[in-house]
Structure 1
């Protein structure tokens, strides 16, 4: 039931997506001239608010504090003024959730209450998630360890209660009564019915209808999977044994900086060098060592696994397989994919096969290019085999670069460009918002209002963008509070059976929940406004060095994360379980990946210039990266491996994850599998994205199609932006994503969302994608 909300708190709110390796973006020059045609939309001029955004992010000496000296709590909640208050809030929320649970359990006593069950279940989910999601953010971002400890306690306390609700037979029976009553079902809006189905499927995934003994086994397996998953992730980050490199093996090292130091070290010490996988020295050797042997050694060291590490992964896979069998599914993939766009592992394979058929010729051609480079380098007979340790040497990864030459872009300039892009597309802009003392967890945090030109404030974005000690690496989008309709909550109905003592105990939770609400013109009801947080690790601006200047991959990161943020802001639904980014795993990355495509357009890049002085010109050194298709091919193999590892095969007593990996490379790979390696233990996404690793490729394909068909020729067109907002963004997860995509692309054959639709998406070109790893 509320497993959906629990997963949102545990995984989805901090959206962290599987990513391909870092790859350079290169395009043919003529593609960058389209926006200059006579029919292109002329961008709206920069506003005063846009200029204020530049100052907000680029001048660290300018405070964002409100003029008032009065202090508030985190996110403006007056109840969150101290770590101990957070624990009190959790207790109040828990009591209120228990009261609401009892109301739902009594629903069959009154026919009128049956009509309110779906609404009350969604309220219950929102009540718990509002605190759990906040705790998840605090324990990852807050620099004060006291706050972090409090957040950990709150998180564990409320998740434990939510897990009880997930397997609550009484709640399941009440929902069954609702969905079995034709009159009640008829009264549900499409969005309400979709929400009811989410609860129903989550109940079934929790083994709710199993006999008591099997349900106990379900719980124990679930616990085992969680523990094994944590152990697996811990071991993926464990330091590996170093490669032992002889000094003479580094002769001719091309790198003149670190390479020279390494050679000097080897000459002075007269001893073998110990090079640890993942280190800068290891990366340099893989890219710059002419001799094959040191590269082979580093590769072997990086991809070796102990029998114990392999056993942990295989135990995890077997436990997942047993869990699926327990609930009547033939595999974990079958259990997981039923409510995704793919629907089944067979459909996933149709997509991957079609994508592989499209990609393989390009990848083979690229591999032939590398082989010719190796032949020229080593003076071998024609077309020597490219080994796994040759890839980076004969085609060194390059950092992403803009499609046209640009001057340095500051963080404030990029945010200003984002605001101008949203204004052109959706009539929505970003505006500086004052921060009250105590509202944010660090002085680096900046607050933005998201403002619609007609409806007013849609929600708030808190941007915590600068690196600091103890802050997690990478980038992520956290949904701290979702949108939902609140004027029909019927809170008094919750309190009919509650005495005054319990009412007082719940008061803090009621105050917390009542914040950030408003009515919208032209829309019935009052809505809870969304609050999101963006976490990045950019360099902090200083008075001495000046504002933060972003590398191009950081600009892409910011566009990606703001794609998630705008999905959260625009996806205003009546039910929080389908609000914004609370949608299918294989749909959630579409808006964020599409945002990256806008960086292909000079018209969009011109928005980084507030006064028309930016010199945007075509660069003459852009070329096709011959290795990009090899990397896409590798990602397809990873997605295929994920499907194999979550298929019925894992329950065969003879299952061997390394043998399965080797067989996949023998039958479908381009670069040979290396005996003695078992790199599947480094594939950390096997836990967080088990059976859904295909999702990122899938959304890349759809985003590329949407960009080419709708936006590429005129990316600032308001009518197109409104259409995308109307058909996709506003629905969150409240509408079948296949219907959204088919309507947006005028492709009625996609609406069924069957195997043929999956195959069709697999045939779409994705090579013009601009994605970079590490964004989430």
Structure 2
């Protein structure tokens, strides 16, 4: 039988032939892709010709075509629709792919060619983009260990393989804990829950082949349960299960894995001559140093904690008014905060939710992109990797720009959270290749025949991930190495967080926030109350986030801790963490930090980007129009289409003319007076 992953993809937009792909196709396809890549790398490294940008850098850009194509399919499916076979292959591939990466980046002959180009770049006729790509390739090789001696390169390769194995295991342990836990709910256990939560619990039971209702650890179900359930005992049970993910003992416990990962990261940094992994990781980010990260986080921490403590006192009073004595607990906060929001802002989640239908919010995101950037979205009738996934062709003035895939509902085979990824990235080298971009979310799936309704936070998540998608879809560079979201980690969240602002624009809500049953627009007074409450409970949200970011920094700033949980406890005690607010991500389920190196020593980056996104949206306010064409064009040209073609601060200055201070962020979170 032929392998569909290795055959030419001749279907619409050269998408992967999902219906034809079987799990058993992936292993042979990876072997073929690795073999081809090794042949191509050997040819480049062993060439008798003097190195040129074309025969070295551009050849490297195209050397792993088959491997990239297969990886794009497999890793997207492994995250969004896991199976036992895919999990087993993921474990098998982790050390193999890490070893291959080390083979390439520590190939002495290949590095010598790149270094020769780098040293002689002033004698070459290079475009600005080519200079940038050359700089980044050399930097990648050096930071991977290419300049180490033979013993150092050997140990670095071993460390990377071990890290790949441990990170994969961390992810799979977390998925197993999230997939396996559920709490059956009897009729009496549904007390206080609005209809949309009851419906979601019934759907969760049906997915597990059970009658009645169950509570799962899907964020889109457990958070509203904690908001609305009048059963304090069940809220405690649910909350404890949620925060215990990865720390339940047995085979899926992640605490020892976290310690081993941190130890290996420290060794990796020391091999390269850095004092700590944080120093190594932050060198190429906008922040540059751990000190700069800590300074930003602590400037926001103090007003955030003060706000959270004041809010906690109010919620404690409400709880005591209900006859519940003792301190406010973490499983009480969301419940009483929801009651307070109703009392102070006359906002009821059950009243709001019908105005945020999933399809309506998708159209709101599309319409906003059309008004800002002239993009059009046409539904595609395609069979994708899961029945819940759907696709659109993205065009501008009739020109094909991208294929966008949305996969929005939670399921047991999908890891938690929300993310943006690509099956194929953009580039012009070797022909104009347009991207295939996917947004993956975990919204509660409705019962058959009922509309999918989002919370306000869900709608923000949808806009956030679509901002990432725009960064990928509007990319307009020659080299895939710097395309789309291939930017500094503390810059990559700028487009996504900036896009969230348009959800609060009155014209967007007036046009798209319509009642799922009646089609009536959201009443103006409800819309105004919603916008007025946009900063509600930001003390809680900011405190839970910054605590996680500070713990991440502490893990990587000095010697690797033998007991990460003790470090976590020490950090929380030192900063005076309010007892009723948990970290957003405790160590055993901190996937951002331990399921790969992406956000390790970099969880702060959401806030670093938020400093810019708050200021960036001010540019539209200053223009007097949230859809100002000139400002939108400048945003696209300076940031969204530019990828990593220049340093992040240079890109931002090209858009805004300067770098921002922290004040717009504090105002945006309601932590200082708006005046």
- TM-score band, normalised by shorter chain: 0.7 to 0.9
What is the aligned partner in structure 2 of residue 441 from structure 1?
385
| Contact 1:195/1:578 (8 A) holds in 2 | yes
For 1:673 and 1:606, the matched residues in 2 are separated by 37
Residues 549 and 392 (structure 1), Cα distance of their counterparts in 2 relative to 1, 3 Å cut: closer
Q: Tell me which residue corresponds to 1:201.
A: 139
Q: Which residue of 2 aligns with 1:246?
A: none
Number of the residue aligned with 1:451: 395
CA contact 2:269–2:276 (8 Å) conserved in 1: yes
> Is the Cα contact below 8 Å between 2:486 and 2:644 reproduced in 1?
yes
Q: Which residue of 1 aligns with 2:539?
A: 629
Structure-2 residue corresponding to 1:527: 432
Which has the greater radius of gyration?
Answer: 1
**DSSP-derived class of the 1:213 partner:** helix
Q: Does the CA-based 8 Å contact 1:364-1:670 persist in structure 2?
A: no
1:466 Cα deviation from its structure 2 partner = 5.1
CA spacing shift, 1:75–1:473, aligned 2, 3 Å: farther
The TM-score normalised by the length of structure 1 is 0.67
Task: Kindly indicate whether the alpha-carbon contact (under 8 Å) linking 1:172 and 1:208 is maintained by their aligned counterparts in 2.
Answer: yes
- 1:392 and 1:179 map into 2 onto residues whose CA distance is 55
Cross-structure match for 1:23: none
1:300-339 alignment to 2 at 5 Å? 310-339=255-284
Structure with more relative contact order (C-alpha pairs < 8 Å, separation 6 or more): 1
- The answer to whether the 8 A contact 1:73-1:79 is kept is yes
Cα RMSD over matched residues?
4.6
Deviation of 1:648 after TM superposition, in Å, equals: 1.4
* Equivalent residues of 2:102, 2:144 under 8 A apart: no
Q: Distance in 1 between matches of 2:97 and 2:568?
A: 40
What's the offset of the Cα at 1:672? 4.2
The answer (yes or no) to whether the contact 1:286–1:393 under 8 Å persists in 2 is yes
| Residues 744 and 82 of structure 1: CA distance in aligned 2, closer, same or farther (over 3 Å) | closer
CA distance in 1, matches of 2:239, 2:77: 38
In structure 1, the partner of 2:610 is 700
| CA drift at 1:569 | 1.2
Distance 1:645 1:284, change over 3 A: same
What is the match of residue 176 of structure 1?
115
Residues 321/631 of structure 1: CA separation in 2 closer, same or farther (3 Å cut): same
- Normalising by structure 2, we get a TM-score of 0.76
Q: 1:163-216 CA distances to partner (integer Å, 9 max, x unpaired)? A: 4213222211111111011435x5232222222232222222322222222322
Q: Which residue of 2 aligns with 1:666?
A: 573
**Contact between 2:389 and 2:407, CA under 8 Å: does it hold in 1?**
yes
Q: Is residue 538–residue 670 contact of structure 2 (8 Å, CA) maintained in 1? A: no
Q: What does residue 596 of structure 1 align with?
A: 500
**Corresponding residue number in structure 2 for 1:498:** none
State the Cα deviation string for residues 487-537 of structure 1 (Å, max 9, x = none).
4xxxxxxxxxxxxxxxxxxxxxxxxxxxxxxxxxxxxxx411111223345
Instruction: Find the counterpart in structure 2 of residue 680 from structure 1.
Output: 587
Secondary structure, counterpart of 1:589 in structure 2: helix
Query: What SS does structure 2 have at the residue aligned with 1:463?
Result: strand
Deviations 1:454-474, CA, capped at 9 Å, x for gaps = x71112123344566745555
Correspondence for 1:575: 479
The alpha-carbon distance between structure 1 residues 540 and 283, as it changes in their structure 2 partners (threshold 3 A), is closer
Question: Cα distance, 1:724 vs. partner?
Answer: 0.9
Cα shift at 1:313: 2.5
Matched, 1:710 2:620: yes
User: 1:372, CA displacement in angstroms?
Assistant: 4.2
Q: Distance in 2 between matches of 1:673 and 1:373?
A: 14
Measure the CA separation in 2 of the matches of 1:341 and 1:195.
18
After superposition, give the CA deviation of every residue in 1:119-164 in whole Å (9 maximum; x if it has no partner): 2222225553233112222445569988998999889876653442
Determine if the alignment matches structure 1 residue 129 to structure 2 residue 36: no
Mark the CA change 1:445 to 1:621 in structure 2 (over 3 Å): closer, same or farther.
Answer: closer
> In structure 2, how many angstroms separate the alpha carbons of the residues matched to 1:741 and 1:403?
40
Gaps of 5+ in 1: 1-70, 241-251, 262-274, 488-525, 751-756, 770-776
1:710–1:720 Cα contact (<8 Å) kept:
yes
**1:366: how far off?**
2.4
Matched, 1:370 2:315: yes
Number of positions where the alignment pairs a residue of Structure 1 with one of Structure 2: 611
Matches within 5 A, 1:487-498: 487=430
Matches within 5 A, 1:47-66: none
8 Å CA contact 2:410–2:441 kept in 1: the answer is: yes
Q: Distance in 1 between matches of 2:260 and 2:429?
A: 45
Give 5+ residue unaligned stretches, structure 2: 1-8, 179-187, 199-213
Q: Does 1:109 align with 2:19?
A: no
